[in-house]
A and B are shown apart, each in its own frame.
Chain A
């Protein structure tokens, strides 16, 4: 069976002569799957994201998304980072519309359809509880609000793949939990394919269908774990024994990975 995302035996080194960041690393994802990638810092988690989005070409191996070899940025991906990177001179609404000004085929018709796009953006903002801040500037929002808006921006052009690089890393614990649920509900509703890079094992186990553990540099996927819990999951699932066991298992793996 062909996978929606098929990264096969890739190696990447940024600097010639330096040890590679990824070596013989593989990753497969089905359409609509939620995969979390965890591992020691500097193990090349973000490099995987860059490969998948076409921002970076592998030195060896192949990257295939939707039966298409990725050789350049595809446009059908959304990205969000730890830092919300909103444009301070644009209102939240106009920040959300940015991808539509860029991505094909929307960019050609952006002006004619601006109103329809704006309505869609406001609808999306409402779904994460931000309907009131559309006309506010990003610096008038709290960190959690900005991160929600950043998620919306990543989704506005209805990408098939959503890539999240520690999107909740800089938030306080309560806001983080809130946003886990926001992401959970968005995914439940739209079923996009997600690659979530995170340091937070509880986060990975709570949100993902499958958690992949990476080794130390040069990075490879050394273990994967199916997360069997029913969806939609409740936040309290974190305190059940099976959940705690899984988190323990992940932690042990990472500890071994770091020790190598």
Chain B
């Protein structure tokens, strides 16, 4: 009974915290007399959401599309590059500084270049989402491959296994928890990338919507855009967390 109650509490905690956060926000805005153009109260934002729901839905789907495309490319590319880096120490040594350097460049600074090459719109958003989200995937896959137990490698090598055998039988399956773990991080980063690019150079998407709302001084709509983004991020994160649980359940149960 006691345990049940504890479990229920655990399950309800995220909802509870979210509602509480909005409540505190509302109270602060109402009691503090904070002007709407500075920080609108949640009720005001929800109201703006209703009013502009068509634009919000259209733009958020647009952002979701750019994000997913960029993320998709990042998954394929990140996985391949991660495997390549995990395969050979020389490749690892050679590529790592370049990649770290690349990752250190703020992606917002890359957008103008992408616009120069591809024009404004979807392509820069997709590419920015890709550029910002592939790094954690690469690093995690490579790390996962590096954690192959040396004794297991000895067992397989003594049986005459080739490097490819070891990679296929042990390395790649063993790296999967790292890979799926990185997807959760990467998908949220992909959102950041897509929105950054939309804000700078697009006529569509939540980023663009928020920028125009700000220009029109529709502050509640700006915040509505933020909330929609947060919501999309949470949903995608949850989806990938669920996929992770399903595909590499062994990595979790073994800790129990």
Contact = CB atoms under 8 A, between A and B. Distances in A.
Interface in A40-90: 50, 53-55, 72-75, 77, 79, 81, 83, 85, 87-89
B36 interface: no
B169 A102 contact: yes
Contacts of B160: 72-75, 102-104
B157 A73 contact: yes
A224 B123 CA distance: 74
Nearest to B150: A85
A83 B156 contact: no
Contacts of A98: 156, 169
Contacts of B158: 53-55, 73-75, 77, 79, 163
A137 B173 CA distance: 15
Interface stretch (B51-59, B78-86, B178-186, B248-256): B248-256
A220 interface: no
B152 A139 contact: no
Interface in B138-167: 149, 151-152, 154-161, 165
A137 B250 contact: yes
Counting chain A CB atoms within 10 Å of each CB, the highest count among B149, B155, B173 belongs to: B155
Nearest to B154: A55
A156 to B, nearest CB: 10
B254 A139 contact: yes
B contact residues, range: 20 to 34
B167 to A, nearest CB: 12
Chain B interface helix/strand/loop/mixed: helix
Contacts of B156: 98, 102
A79 B248 contact: no
Contacts of A54: 158
B173 to A, nearest CB: 5
Nearest to B152: A85
Counting chain A CB atoms within 10 Å of each CB, the highest count among B155, B159, B161 belongs to: B159
Contacts of B161: 73, 102
A73 B159 contact: yes
A87 B250 CA distance: 10
A218 interface: no
B39 interface: no
B170 interface: yes
B151 A85 contact: yes
A74 B158 CA distance: 7
Interface string A116-138: 00000000000000000000010
Contacts of B248: 89
Interface in B200-256: 248, 250-251, 253-254
B151 A81 contact: yes
A121 to B, nearest CB: 15
10 contacts: A53-B154, A55-B154, A72-B160, A79-B154, A81-B154, A85-B152, A87-B152, A89-B251, A102-B165, A139-B253
Interface of A: 50, 53-55, 72-75, 77, 79, 81, 83, 85, 87-89, 98-99, 101-104, 137, 139, 153-154, 157, 163
Interface of B: 149, 151-152, 154-161, 165, 169-170, 173-174, 176, 248, 250-251, 253-254
